[in-house]
Amino acid sequence: DPPASQDDAIRATNDDATVSKLSAVNLGYLHDPFVHFFVRQPVRRSPLINRGRIPSLLTSLGHLIIPFSAHWSYVRNAALNQLITKFLAAGGTERKKQIVSLGCGFDTRYFLFKSRSPQIPNQAATAPSAFPIHKYFEIDFPELTANKSSVLRAHREFTELWGSEATNVMNVGASHSPGGGGTELYAEDYVLLAGDLRQWESKVVPRLFELGLDMNLPTLFISECVLIYLDPVISDAIIRWATDNLHFPAFVLYEQILPGDSFGEVMIRNLQARNIELKGIQACPTLESQRRRFLDRGWTFAEAVDIDTVHDRMLARGEMARISRLEMLDELEEWRLLAQHYCIVWAYRVPPVSSSSEDSH
């Protein structure tokens, strides 16, 4: 295992993500009534600190400020939410499904979907009409889930979404509680699990089954800036496991690509200066190789697009008009360059058609 300090640096990327999301919410780009609970001091940070989800790059592009990052948060979230909503709606909302969020950090998506909150103002139509979730699993390091779980427990805004007060008390349990604080949470359709993804098969998978993962239900994995930090041997093993064990696996991921050009080199160098290594980027450096990590395993469908393309083609016109009125995005060239270095990939595997009746004998 890498030295602990490297893990700390990777965990700290979640703070960047959270602060950046909150600034996008405060500027009106995103609707998320939950994320502020995770930011202890919502002090107004200087623009350069408040650069959030694309932090290290801005060291070299120091003139880019908050609106840039808020715009980015918006595009990334809108695209991912669109794909997740599609998964939830597929086959009708009465068809139960599962979500496994790898390296969930302080993500609030479960609560947004559960509360049927319009992800984006005036976009209630994109939210599923019901919440067809058997279980929504979130996994991260115990250091992180301990914090998340204490915030979740402390606020009615979260606990009321698990059902009635009484049900909460009975069903929300905690385990692994060094020093009295729980690092995990179990509600009827929500599980916050403490684990290290590097121990996927040996430790994480047995806990998932123990806590209710159903191999026969459609299961969506979400990796939002997570697999990229893992050795490709590990991320490969996770995808292979999903392929071999789940009846209907699907995947949505967001991460960096194109390490080879000068911009990519700056991106990698700046992260290295923070002791963060993009371990996965050489194994899946392009949109094509991102697709191949699924298609080569026999998945039915895989698509990969960069954020630049998402921005131009995937987002609702009305929404684009709305956010372009919020702030001027005048660094368009830098935006595009950066946006070509991040991608969104989605893939699914439909089970092979069960063969002729002879096979069943």
Shortest separation between residue 106's beta carbon and ligand SAM, angstroms: 7
Q: Which is nearer to ligand SAM, 105 or 218 (CB)?
A: 105
> Pairing state of beta strands 218-224 and 301-306?
unpaired
CA dist list (Å): 113 to 31, 118, 150, 190, 257: 12, 8, 21, 12, 29
Question: Percentage helix, strand, coil, to 5, in the chain?
Answer: 50, 15, 35
Interaction of residue 10 with ligand SAM, rule CB under 6 A: yes
- Identity of residue 336: R
SS3 158: helix
Please pick, from the candidates 137, 229, 299, 342, the single residue that binds ligand SAM as defined by CB under 6 A.
229
Please pick, from the candidates 67, 105, 182, 218, the single residue that binds ligand SAM as defined by CB under 6 A.
105
Do 304 and 291 meet the contact criterion of CB atoms below 8 Å apart?
A: yes
Interaction of residue 343 with ligand SAM, rule CB under 6 A: no
Ordered strands of the 342-348 beta sheet: 185-186, 190-194, 133-140, 97-102, 218-224, 248-256, 342-348, 301-306
Q: Which residues contact 159 (CB under 8 A, 6 or more apart)?
A: 152, 153, 165, 168, 172
Q: Which is nearer to ligand SAM, 10 or 284 (CB)?
A: 10
| Residue list 118-177, contact with ligand SAM (CB under 6 A) | 140-141, 144
CB neighbourhood size of 307 (10 A)? 23
76 is in an annotated binding site: yes
How many angstroms separate the CA atoms of 299 and 291, rounded? 10
- Taking alpha carbons only, the member of 76, 81, 192, 101 closest to residue 144 is 192
Interaction of residue 30 with ligand SAM, rule CB under 6 A: no
22 is in an annotated binding site: no
Shortest separation between residue 238's beta carbon and ligand SAM, angstroms: 10
Please pick, from the candidates 134, 198, 207, 274, the single residue that binds ligand SAM as defined by CB under 6 A.
198
Please pick, from the candidates 64, 197, 238, 258, the single residue that binds ligand SAM as defined by CB under 6 A.
197
Interaction of residue 271 with ligand SAM, rule CB under 6 A: no
Interaction of residue 110 with ligand SAM, rule CB under 6 A: no
Interaction of residue 224 with ligand SAM, rule CB under 6 A: yes
Interaction of residue 104 with ligand SAM, rule CB under 6 A: yes
Shortest separation between residue 53's beta carbon and ligand SAM, angstroms: 8
Q: Which residue has the tokens 């709305």?
A: 322
188 is in an annotated binding site: no
Number of residues that bind ligand SAM (CB under 6 A): 20
Please pick, from the candidates 29, 54, 77, 107, the single residue that binds ligand SAM as defined by CB under 6 A.
107
Do 212 and 134 meet the contact criterion of CB atoms below 8 Å apart?
A: yes
**Binding site as annotated, residues for S-adenosyl-L-methionine:** 76, 103, 196-197, 224
| Residues found near ligand SAM in the complex (CB under 6 A) | 10-11, 13-14, 17, 103-105, 107, 140-141, 144, 196-198, 224-226, 229-230
